[in-house]
Structures are given as C-alpha cells and as structure tokens.
C-alpha cells in the first residue's frame, strides 16, 4: 500500500502544478501489487486525476497485448475495470 500511496501522491503533486504524471512500470511481482493497491489509493487522493497520467511499460516485449509475455497485457488483465480512467494506458515502443 505504501508504494501505491507514494505513486498517487506524486501524481497529485504533478497534476496540481498543471502538468501530467508519467509512470514507468515493470512487470513481474509489481503487477499484482499495483493491481491490488493502486485503485484504493486513487480513491483516497481525488487530486491525482488519473486522466492526466501517461503509463508506460518499461520492459514491454514486442508482443501483442494478448500474448502471455506482455507486461501491458498483464496489467490490463489484472486491472480490468479498476484503472480504466487512466488517461493513456499502453505499451511504448522504442
């Protein structure tokens, strides 16, 4: 819960200053942790305005979101319906 709270507080600060909040996410054990903890943290800090977020997947593999190795796909499956208000939620290809 502490990590999700830290993320949401940083987002609220960025949004309050008139900007956007960018968040880079990795996969692995972080997926279930944030899928569980981020929605309640967002509810607790209305100023975080998830529509102002840009979420990027730092270790995204070059596979479709439906592929079992997709980090973005893992977040989509785990957060189905709970983080749909995030402004941009998808892979960033380099």
Does some domain include residue 85? no
- Report pTM: 0.76
- 52 and 20 Cβ atoms separated by less than 8 Å: yes
Domain that holds residue 18: 1-80
- So what's the pLDDT on residue 16? 95
CA distance 16 to 20: 9
- State how many domains the chain has: 1
Nearest to 11 by CA among 25, 26, 23: 23
CA distance 33 to 16: 26
Does some domain include residue 92? no
- So what's the pLDDT on residue 91? 47
Query: Using alpha carbons only, what angle is made at residue 87 by residues 75 and 18, rounded to the nearest 5 degrees?
Result: 130
Does some domain include residue 23? yes
Does some domain include residue 52? yes
Low-confidence ranges of the chain (pLDDT < 70): 59-60, 80-94
Q: Looking up tokens 């993320």, which residue turns up?
A: 7
């Amino acid at each position: 819960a502490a990590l999700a709270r830290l993320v949401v507080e940083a987002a609220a600060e960025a949004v309050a200053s008139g900007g956007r909040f960018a968040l880079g996410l990795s996969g692995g054990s972080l997926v279930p942790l944030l899928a569980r903890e981020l929605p309640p943290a967002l509810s607790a800090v209305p100023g975080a305005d998830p529509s102002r977020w840009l979420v990027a997947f730092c270790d995204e593999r070059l596979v479709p979101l439906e592929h079992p190795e997709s980090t973005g796909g893992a977040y989509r499956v785990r957060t189905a319906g709970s983080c749909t208000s995030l402004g941009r939620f998808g892979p960033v290809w380099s």
